[in-house]
Amino acid sequence: MPDRRLRNITILPGDGIGPEVIAQAVKTIQAIGYRYNHEFKLDQALIGAKAIDETGNPFPEATFEKCKSADAIILGAIGDPMYDSDPNAKIRPEQGLLDLRKKLQLFANIRPIKVYKKLLHLSPLKNERIKNVDLIIYRELTGGIYFGKKGRYEDGKIAYDHCVYSENEIKRIAHLAFQAAMKRRKKLCLVDKANVLETSRLWRSVVRAMATEYPEVETSYLYIDNAAMQLMIAPSQFDIILTSNLFGDVLSEEASVIAGSLGLLASASIGRRSCLFEPIHGSFPQAAGKDIANPLGTILSVGMMFRHFGMDIEANEVERAVELCMNEGILTIDLDVEVHYSCSQLGDLIYSIIAEDLEQINKRQLRMGSSSII
């Protein structure tokens, strides 16, 4: 029986290439709705620099309300170079994202790193090293140094950022990470800096105690400096990596080079009531408005949303469509500088593959259908 429940999805296009990749995500949702007879209600809202321009607030109250009542949120990207050059700017677009995470308590950020056979050559790492990589980073997202007390004293000449974690904050994400490990290769690695930081020592003792509840999971511990190196020299050793907010930010960006392009990576941020799906890449302002951005990270994030809804068939279908494009070499310019397709062409194609259940792509037709292909 198809699940006919109406699902409300709040769409936050954001800044830079955000609106362009989001347009392709919307096509993907519509294709799944059409093919499997689901009903999705999409509602847009402002966030980031766009929201500052229009309301003075990077995360307006109206956006918060729409996000709170949604079954899921899809976000494009946030950030505008106008604010990067001014370290004294009082309001920053990124604050919108941090507020969104905090107010909706999206405490677990899940970032899968996977390699696609056809794209192995794009990674700066040796193919031998990366060909079996399939790992997921579980990054704590609403605590730690990002949200501790911060400030300045001595006339602004001294600054501080406090890093604070509670047992409960660690436990709730650690449980999700252990449960994910149970469904996979049953390996979990906690990454911390327990040789120096008190918060890391708390992480370690909490996770060590919890490991007894998951005896089948092989639990290991690495310091962040060592983990950063291991990720480059032997990334296939990892299954689930569990870590705090700042370490997860750095490690997930480092891990993204394994896949060859930041544009391919998807993520989910999960709370008790809310969930948000977004590509890992930023707003890439240089590419905005040119229809050259890679929409696959956002489309794969939509796939993660369906999986979160328990719609595994639909999630598999999104992944199949993306892999079909990759296998056929239908890629954006970040992945193929010679023959490439536009962001919207990729979105249209993904729509057709899903809606019409295509198993093959007629490249000639695709080329003739558009004049913008180089």
Interacting residues toward Mg ion by CB under 5 A: 249
Task: Give 31's Cβ-side CA count (13 Å radius).
Answer: 26
Rounded Cα gap, residues 305 and 249, in angstroms: 21
Binding map of ligand IPM across residues 188-227, x = CB under 6 A, - = no contact: ----------------------------------------
Shortest reach from residue 85's CB to ligand IPM, in Å: 16
Beta-carbon contacts of residue 1 (< 8 Å; ≥ 6 apart): none
Binding positions for ligand IPM, 311-370, rule CB under 6 A: none
Report the DSSP pairing between strands 7-14 and 72-77. Answer: parallel
Which single residue brings its beta carbon nearest to ligand IPM? 94
94 binds, among Mg ion, ligand IPM, none (CB under 5 to 8 A by kind): ligand IPM
Least spacing, CB of residue 279 vs Mg ion, in Å = 11
- Smallest distance, ligand IPM to C-beta of residue 78, A: 6
**Partner from ligand IPM, Mg ion, none binding residue 134, C-beta < 5-8 Å depending on class:** none
Residues 70-99 that bind ligand IPM (CB under 6 A): 78, 94, 97
Residue 318 and residue 349: Cα distance in Å, rounded? Answer: 12
Q: CB of 253: closest distance to Mg ion in angstroms?
A: 5
Interaxial angle between packed helices 48-55 and 93-103, expressed in degrees from 0 to 180 and rounded to the nearest 10: 100
Encoded tokens for 2: 């198809």
Residue whose CB is less far from ligand IPM, 25 or 97 = 97
Give the x-and-dash track for 224-263 against ligand IPM (CB under 6 A).
Answer: -------------------------x--------------
- Tell me the C-alpha to C-alpha distance, in Å, between residue 321 and each of 88, 137, 153, 222, 363: 45, 24, 54, 37, 15
Judged by CB, which is closer to Mg ion: 60, or 279?
Answer: 279
The least distance separating ligand IPM from the CB of residue 178, rounded to whole angstroms, comes to: 23
Residue 106 binding result from Mg ion, ligand IPM, none, given CB thresholds of 5 to 8 Å by partner type: none
Asked if 46 and 11 count as a contact pair (C-beta separation under 8 A), the reply is no
Nearer to Mg ion, 71 or 253 (CB): 253
Question: DSSP for 253-313?
Answer: HHHHHHHS-GGG-EEEEE-SS-EEEEESS---GGGTTTT-S--HHHHHHHHHHHHHTT-HH
Smallest gap from Cβ 3 to ligand IPM, in A, equals 31
With contacts defined by CB under 6 A, how many residues of the chain interact with ligand IPM?
4
Q: What is the DSSP letter of 117?
A: G
Report, in Å, the least distance between residue 219 CB and ligand IPM. Answer: 25
Distance CA 3, CA 18 (A): 30
Which partner from the list ligand IPM, Mg ion, none does 97 bind, CB cut-off 5 to 8 Å by kind? ligand IPM
Measured CA to CA, the distance from residue 290 to residue 260 in angstroms comes to 22
Three-state DSSP at 48 gives: helix
Binding residues vs ligand IPM (CB under 6 A):
78, 94, 97, 249
